[in-house]
Amino acid sequence: MNHFRPASKHLFSFVLLCLLCAIWLHSASPDKRITVYSPTTTYTLNLVEHSGHDYVGLLEMLEPLGRVSAKTERQRWKLRFKNIDAQFTNHNNKARIGRRDLDLTAPFLLQNDRGLVPVDALATLLPAFLGTPVTFHSTARRLFIQQNGTSYSAELSSANPPRVAFNFSAPVNPRVATEPGKVTLVFHRDPVIASGPATLNFNDKTITAATFQENNGMAEITVAGTVPLMASFSNNGRTITIAPAPSATAAQPPASTPAPGVQTATSPPAPPAPTPVSPAPVRRYLVALDASHGGDERGAALADNLPEKDVTLTLARRIRGQLESRGISTLMLRDGDATLSADQRASSANSAHVSVYLAIHAGTDGIGVRICTAALSSQTDTRGPFLSWNTAQAAYVSASQAMANNLEAQLSRSLPTRLLSAPLRPLNSVIAPAVAIEIAPRQPGNVADLNAPDYQQSIAAALATAIANARDGAGGAH
């Protein structure tokens, strides 16, 4: 029998340790993503890495831009986008779109009937389908269709305290992250680009510089200073002002020591401490589950005897079970074959003061799950003391997008997932974080997936986990 010598044992242990570290680092790294900006929608897709190249599903890439379908014939994959036919061959660097033969930057891949194209080839492929040029920031994986992006300018005010105003060419809605001496504006869905130097140095001791960078489908503007900073919005989302936080400017002057023999005034006695007030009751965390369609409204005919309304109700019940097993209360807006209008759905959710609203849809186009938030600015349209019904969601846009990101992060571990924003009713009228999902088959055209218990259960479990994580992260009540 063979034995390891001591040196071999040490070498084996070292190699094993390196391998485990590599696996851990790979699993800890964030998923690679590409974000697409078009005049009608913005969406994000996860990438697949193969042989050192990044790939993306071409069907998922084109689906938000128009009617698309695909089928597999042995090693060939045929796709039709609007009235344009295309053909790809597995492990081949050539593609035919319409009457044009195009070269790919890496071989086309066919995996489980899903057509994958190298990301670097999108700048060549998409114009052939769309008939319009695209701009691709390949390093950051941000792709712009028929638009130049949202530019900005920055101006330092010499007021006391100083402030920097960022003026954007279109309304923006970034996530704001703060840390000591720094505030970062994170643009997940806004096509923000730098129209000047990436770094702006300000001749100021309080607010020192602003830096633009883009990476992994996102853009960021980071403002650095020597004191805590804060951001405020104005001009309908076109202006963001960075200024010292109030705590940074409210420092009290040091107390002076009286000179010997100088008598000082006696401070008046402190007022009595206020009577303790009982804390307000904590509102329970309640999730509204809205199975789309119902009653006279059948929804899409997914198959001969499978209306959308039945699939969405079954899935809503599975999500309810998963949420309640995690201690989260639910409100089923439709728990039977009832007809409800969009206004009735929003009114029921608002009256119950829900913590999260989740609309559930199903379709046969594409694969995986689409996640949608309202296509609204964060600026609230008010009418005196009342909110406009059609834009009531505006104050919750950021929270809704954060919830959508949580859902996408969990679902994308096992399924192709895409983030969208659209004017989808009744999202615009819900006064809570509101998200809609649409499930599609696991494999293209496999409609039976939509009603498969294991598929629905995996989606329900992922959604419930993401919602529970969001609740716990926000310190929400159970």
Q: Does the global pTM surpass 0.85?
A: no
Give 10-residue mean pLDDT values along the chain (478 residues). 43 48 44 88 87 94 88 94 96 95 96 93 95 94 92 90 93 84 90 92 94 95 94 88 76 44 43 47 79 91 90 94 89 90 90 94 92 77 62 90 93 91 88 96 90 92 93 66
* Closest-CA residue to 169 (of 194, 141, 143): 194
Q: How far apart are CA 453 and CA 314, in angstroms?
A: 9
For residue 460, give every residue at least 6 positions away whose Cβ sits within 8 Å of its Cβ, in sequence order, or none. 315, 318, 319, 321, 322
Shared domain check, 410 and 364? yes
Q: How far apart are CA 224 and CA 208, in angstroms?
A: 6
What pLDDT sits at residue 12? Answer: 47
Shared domain check, 208 and 333? no
Shared domain check, 203 and 77? no
Q: Based on the structure, what is the number of domains in the chain?
A: 3
Decide: helix, strand or coil at residue 145. strand
Shared domain check, 204 and 334? no
DSSP letter at 237? G
Give the amino acid at 18.
C
What pLDDT sits at residue 155? Answer: 93
What pLDDT sits at residue 263? Answer: 42
For strand 434-439 and strand 356-362, is the pairing parallel, antiparallel, or unpaired? Answer: parallel
The CATH number that applies at residue 301 is 3.40.630.40
Domain that holds residue 115: 33-145
Is 260 part of any domain? no
Backbone angles phi, psi at 404, to 5 degrees: -60, -40
Is 27 part of any domain? no
Shared domain check, 66 and 160? no
What pLDDT sits at residue 477? Answer: 55
Is 11 part of any domain? no
Is 176 part of any domain? yes
Contact 317, 333 (CB under 8 A): no
Is 131 part of any domain? yes
What pLDDT sits at residue 236? Answer: 80
The CATH number that applies at residue 182 is 2.60.40.3470
Shared domain check, 169 and 306? no
Shared domain check, 441 and 387? yes
What pLDDT sits at residue 475? Answer: 57
